[in-house]
Amino acid sequence: MIWTPGVARAARRIATAAALGGGGLTALGATAYGLLIAESLVARKVIGRPHGMDGPSADGTYGDFSGEPIRMVMLGDSTSVGLGVSDPARTPGVLLANGLAEVAGRPVRLDVFGRSGAPSAHLGEQVDQALRVRPDVAVVFIGANDVTTQTPPAVAVRHLQKAVRRLREAGTEVVVGTCPDLGTVQPLAQPLRWVMRRWSRQLAAAQTVAVVEAGGRTVAFADILGPEFSTNPDEMFGPDRFHPSDRGYAQAAHAVLPSVCAALALWPEPRPAHGDGLQPIYLAAATAAEEPGTEVTATRVAGRATGPYGKWVTLFRRRLGALLDDA
């Protein structure tokens, strides 16, 4: 795995600012911030909103099984609701619910509380709604709107960490899909695309630190789960060339499902061992930001949760095929 010290330093700086209540202008500085404002206005006009702002209604119970349903909620932005998908069955929430039901052998009750356009600051309202249904697991897709609205990363991370902590204190397992690499979005011209890539990856690394510290686990979306988004944009992106296509959403759900199952103890956790899988949190966060589909979760080394460089975590990619074979 590749160590990216610049991203690791940025993750530490952003996470520290969030903990201390600071905002910080951005992860990139004032010059890039001004450039992003100007260029993003142009990009928004190019992208437009051909899908509107509402995704298909996907609330319901999934899986042809008997027994008490597992309660799952989807929180976050437009990707959590599957904006751009016309068939509810192709939304990430329904794909996850059906997959989870197959693994658990139980029905899954899905409630989608995510909202298109939501930044991390809106997670508090969504958590309020989610806690009313007492979910077993919450899946959160968030971050892109924090970048496009120029929200200071430390502010965004602080809202996310608070949301995760509230859910965990209520007994809900939490899996967060971190900010995707917006540098893959084709309507964005250079140098905005480079700015977006750097900003989104630094935010993703800081999100990982905050989520794991709050008791959740993360799955890195990075370049939205694979080079196919760069090489096959017409297949992986929808008509607006910003949101994923049906195939793109399926790939996201495919990466997140194993972590959701593991969070509910339906899939064994890896055995921590010295090597690439076991890392200090800031190094792991930086690595995950560059490695699509990578999960980061807290662990212990010799009975200790922290080491000389912060919390110990495991970093790995689960295999969905093996999970389904054993289900």
The domains of the chain are located at: 5-326
Q: Answer positive or negative: Cα dihedral of 90, 93, 99, 102.
A: negative
CB 163 within 8 A of CB 75: yes
> Which structure tokens are listed for 144?
């892109």
Specify whether 240 is catalytic.
yes
- Pairing mode, strands 310-316 and 278-280: antiparallel
CB 112 within 8 A of CB 74: yes
- Choosing from 51, 122, 159, 243, which is the catalytic residue? 243
- Choosing from 40, 51, 77, 78, which is the catalytic residue? 78
5-326 adopts what CATH topology? Rossmann fold (3.40.50)
Q: What is the pLDDT of residues 68-92, one digit of tens each?
A: 999 999 999 988 998 878 789 999 9
Top-confidence residue, 85 or 94: 94
Residue-level pLDDT at 152? 85
Is the pLDDT confidence value at 159 over 80?
yes
User: Does pTM surpass 0.95?
Assistant: no
Helix, strand, coil tally for the chain in percent (to 5): 50, 15, 40
